[in-house]
Amino acid sequence: MESVLLVAAGGAIGATLRFLVGHYVDSSQFPWATLAVNLIGAFLLALITFWYTGIPQELKLLLFTGLFGAFTTMSTFTLETVTLFYDGRFGSALLNFCANAGLCILGAVAGRYAGLALS
């Protein structure tokens, strides 16, 4: 139960921060807020992961799963791709990058068409 509460607390913080970025960053011409949270999340997740290697499991749940999970999903994807690359798994890193980017875009296109069809 403690794990669930840690994830929920981090998620509440992350979602609130994401809302605030979206509220204050002008995204009328380009999705700057989304780009901002993805870049910030990716940077901070990697920074914490590689800077503080002895991070306790409870703090991982609070920050990584909760806060960054709610703030952005891009941070986890980015860290996984960088880890694959620096582990020498270049093909897997490229596949992870292309599959995630490509499938997310295709999913958004499919969702758009489905939404238009249902409206």
Give the annotated binding-site residues: 69, 72
Amino acid at 7: V
**Sign of the C-alpha dihedral, residues 83, 53, 5, 33?**
negative
Which residues carry a binding-site annotation for Na(+)?
Answer: 69, 72
Question: What residue has token string 């897997």?
Answer: 92
Question: What residue has token string 């290697």?
Answer: 53
Supply angle C-alpha 18, 49, 100, rounded to 5. Answer: 60
Exposed, middle or buried by CB within 10 Å (0-12, 13-18, 19+), for 34?
middle
